[in-house]
Amino acid sequence: MDKIRVLVVDDSAIYRKVITEVLSGQPEIEIIGTAANGKIALEMIEKEMPDLLTLDIEMPVMTGLELLQELKKKKSPVKSIVLSGLTHEGATATIQAMSLGALDVVLKPNADSYQAGTDELKKVLLPRVKAIGSTLLRRKAGAPSRQDAPAVAPARRRRGSYGVVCIGVSTGGPPALTRMLPKIPADLGVPILIVQHMPPMFTKSLANSLNQVCPFDVLEAEDGMVLKPGQALIAPGGSHLKVVRSGAKVITKITQDPPENACRPAVDYLFRSVAEVYGGDVLSVIMTGMGSDGTAGARLIKSKGGTLFCQDESSCVVYGMPKILVENGDADGVFSLDKLAPAIQQSVKAGRPVCI
């Protein structure tokens, strides 16, 4: 059985031990070693060629960001998951890491004991390593993936006016959004709502980063914001986002309702409210991510006459959230990451699903 080869990079001996303990003993994972800084890691990468790094950002000699910059220069295929502290500086650095190719972020546990910290990392880090590793192994083996597919039912929706585009995304989302959103024009004509599974503070940094590269405003959603064209709102990490109608306006509500699908913010939570407010005048998009969050919400939108686009397997970091909907025939279009933005733009303009 092929194994995903992992290098643990952290300047803390305790974290190197905890992460190694969490990932060891799994039949699909092989720990090839540990490194206390980016310089040591770079040397080990050249010798051992791991598939995946668990990567600390703040390290002496060579930081995690500097390591990612070197790997990008060398066009290295090695992927990484960032482990970060819950601070403003950590969130900002993590988003920079994702712009350099990191695929996901896991919070370093703030636990009362070694065992509690180990248990927390096992819950949040291990599934990500397995999911990302599974994708990497399939691609290394040359396994075929589902490619772009034309819209399967463009006539389901009669021509009309979309009122909103809503996007659900998880693992691999920040780099995917950074690549896709800037291709959507400022004059799209409808607001965009996004749920990206991330911790508190990180969504604010993500919004700020996207705002610098998109032709429209990208903001972290706050309570009571009025939805308007030329704006994309990202659900704040650690909170749910929903929309409600207030007279002629549609406004945001930020809540602390219980997590759904082990997520807060949850895609299903937002999509339910969007379906209630806009009915079928919704273009929903499910992108890369593990799990099933968004499945029920996307189906609810479709039941009201809305449209669903999904990212294809070949361009997903983890083909989980879209896979369920695509394989059950729910998607009106399946597109590679580079074709999603044109599909969204043309469909909104036409008022119906458009196959590009």
Using 50, 70 and 90 to split pLDDT, how confident is the model at 150? very low
pLDDT (tens digit per residue) in 180-210: 999 999 999 999 999 999 988 899 999 999 9
pLDDT for position 147: 52
- Cβ atoms 241, 264 nearer than 8 A: no
Using 50, 70 and 90 to split pLDDT, how confident is the model at 146? low
pLDDT for position 145: 56
Q: Which of 106-115, 125-134, 222-231 has the lowest mean pLDDT?
A: 106-115
Q: Is 155 exposed, middle or buried (0-12, 13-18, 19+ CB in 10 A)?
A: exposed
Using 50, 70 and 90 to split pLDDT, how confident is the model at 156? low
pLDDT for position 258: 97
Is the pLDDT confidence value at 117 over 90? Answer: no
- Cβ atoms 253, 244 nearer than 8 A: yes
pLDDT (tens digit per residue) in 279-293: 999 999 999 999 999
**% of the chain at pLDDT higher than 70:** 94
Comparing 155 with 86, which gets the higher pLDDT?
86
Indicate which residues carry an active-site annotation: 170, 197, 293
**Domains with residue ranges and CATH for the chain:** 4-140 (3.40.50.2300), 164-350 (3.40.50.180)
User: In sequence order, which residues have a C-beta less than 8 Å from that of residue 61 and are 6 or more positions away?
Assistant: 37, 38, 39, 40
pLDDT for position 202: 92
Q: Mean pLDDT over residues 322-337, rounded?
A: 95
How far apart CA 322 and CA 148 sit, in angstroms, is 13
**What count of other Cβ atoms lies within 10 Å of the Cβ of residue 110?**
10
pLDDT for position 151: 45
Q: Which of 29-43, 149-163, 233-247, 276-290 has the lowest mean pLDDT?
A: 149-163
pLDDT for position 152: 46
Residue whose token pair is 């490619």: 147
**What count of other Cβ atoms lies within 10 Å of the Cβ of residue 350?**
13
How far apart CA 237 and CA 294 sit, in angstroms, is 16
Closest CA to 32 of 6, 4, 9: 6
pLDDT (tens digit per residue) in 63-89: 999 999 999 999 999 999 999 886 777
User: In sequence order, which residues have a C-beta less than 8 Å from that of residue 212 and are 6 or more positions away?
Assistant: none
In whole numbers, what is the pLDDT of the chain averaged over residues? 92
Is the pLDDT confidence value at 256 over 70? Answer: yes
Structure tokens at 163: 């009122």
Is the pLDDT confidence value at 246 over 70? Answer: yes
SS3 162: coil
Provide the pairing of β-strand 240-246 with 249-255.
Answer: antiparallel
